[in-house]
Structure 1
Amino acid sequence: MSKNIIVTGTSRGIGFELVQLFAKAGHNVLALSRNEKPIQDLNLENVSCFSFDLNDSKAYQNVKAFIEKEWGQVDVLINNAGALLNKPFSETTISDFETVYKTNVYGVSELTRVVLPFMKGGSHVVTISSMGGVQGSMKFPGLAAYSSSKAAVITLTELLAEEYKDFGISFNVLALGAVQTEMLEEAFPGYQAPITAPEMAEYIFGFSLNGNKYYNGKLLQVSNSTP
């Protein structure tokens, strides 16, 4: 049975691969990214996309209007979009932190809040975090804003799972290790990850459709290595 699935951060990397996997499996997808062209160019049936900026408060109304008009309900939301900053802490500014948190924390929170009224029992919200946001994990200089923002959405997920457990809506967060994406190259130039974006997308694809049968309010560390 086809499901209605929203994925953010779809112009490249894991999000780009996820859209194709869901479409191939016959699901309806709303692909959200500031740059919608990569998905548009694929010309996939049952995939809708429009330019969406997590920092633009009006953009959320477009998402709400689309759901109301086209679908009526949402089965899966994958908060995959992320902003990276790799900069020594002493050089960062308050606006640097604001930019990263606006996308990685406030954007996740706001889109989830907008989509939740359209979800019912059995729905699943999956947020993509990072091993850098996991307490006790290996940390790296230059990623203070990024990794701390990724820690914030782990706790947010735990709180939402508790708040919505009586509605039958599940919330889980995946802390990814090294995946060969453009973002990894920005964080660790020249590092070669053991997992490709299509491989990680396969895992997230399966987890988003079935993981809520087994988990709720959980952080799963999807990592076989750390740079």
Structure 2
Amino acid sequence: MKKVIITGTSRGIGYEMAKQFAHNDFQVLALSRNQKPLEDLALKNITAISVDVCNDNDLQKVTSFVEEEWKEVDIIIHNAGFLIHKPFTELTKDDFQRVYDVNVFGVASLTQLMIPFLKKGSHVVTISSMGGIQGSLKFPGLAAYSSAKGAVITLSELLAEEYKEQGIAFNVLAIGAVQTEMLEEAFPGYQAPLSAAEMANYIFNFATTGNQYYNGKVLQVSSSTP
């Protein structure tokens, strides 16, 4: 069975992805601060661990698990996200730090730890946002979040170049509006055209096949604005 690590799995797209991969005969390591929603499903292919991607001690739990149980990883999906919606003049340095910790530094830290376990043909997919795309329509109140999503795009492009000789692919999906709790935080009352389960299905297909066609690329996955 192939092995996938997914972050941000307690709700929304991450939760749906964990189920999707498990039902398609993947071994799933699901990382979230709240592991209970997936534990309650009792799916034998899913191991849910309580992990804060900003906490180095928590991330060591991931390394220990992979070393002892898996030895290798086929796919990583960096899905965990954190959003603060505030006017720019009200954002504090701490606000920026918290947003970047999850959306950028957490991605970098987990990737660093997993590099030794990524074999030729592995695929690392980072879930970004249309708000992080240069030239895309931007929205007030999302200065910290959208700039972080832009930063992680550049990080992925660099890693694709750095690890191309090892056969590890790094790609980004910059997604648009999906009906999730985070969307409601950013755009209260807005009805998105896609459900979390529908987007999870798209990401599953891309994560399992996209590295045959793409490396170091950013795909815009959006049918609406926002």
How does the TM-score come out when normalised to structure 2? 0.99
SS at match of 1:55: coil
Alignment partners' CA distance in 2, 1:82 and 1:110 = 14
Q: Which residue is 2:6 aligned to?
A: 7
1:47 aligns to 2:46 (yes or no): yes
Q: Which residue is 1:118 aligned to?
A: 117
SS at match of 1:85: coil
1:203 aligns to 2:202 (yes or no): yes
Alignment partners' CA distance in 1, 2:110 and 2:225 = 29
Q: Which residue is 2:96 aligned to?
A: 97
Q: Which residue is 2:87 aligned to?
A: 88
Percent identity, aligned pairs only, is: 64
Q: Which residue is 1:136 aligned to?
A: 135
RMSD of the alignment, in Å? 0.5
Higher mean alpha-carbon deviation, 45-54 vs 132-141, is at 45-54
SS at match of 1:114: helix
Q: Which residue is 2:72 aligned to?
A: 73
C-alpha deviations, 1:43-71, integer Å up to 9, x for none? 00111011000121101110000001110
Q: Which letter does structure 1 place at the counterpart of 2:15?
A: F
SS at match of 1:121: strand
SS at match of 1:195: coil
1:29 aligns to 2:33 (yes or no): no
The runs of 5 or more residues in structure 2 that have no matched partner are none
Q: CA deviation at 1:84?
A: 0.5
Moved over 3 A (4+): none
Alignment partners' CA distance in 1, 2:140 and 2:65 = 41
Aligned residues: 226
Alignment partners' CA distance in 2, 1:6 and 1:55 = 16
SS at match of 1:123: strand
Q: Which residue is 1:212 aligned to?
A: 211
C-alpha deviations, 1:95-120, integer Å up to 9, x for none? 00000000000000000111111011
Q: Which letter does structure 2 place at the counterpart of 1:154?
A: I
Q: Which residue is 1:176 aligned to?
A: 175
Q: CA deviation at 1:5?
A: 0.3
Alignment partners' CA distance in 2, 1:54 and 1:47 = 18
C-alpha deviations, 1:63-83, integer Å up to 9, x for none? 000001110000000000000
Alignment partners' CA distance in 2, 1:48 and 1:67 = 11
SS at match of 1:221: strand
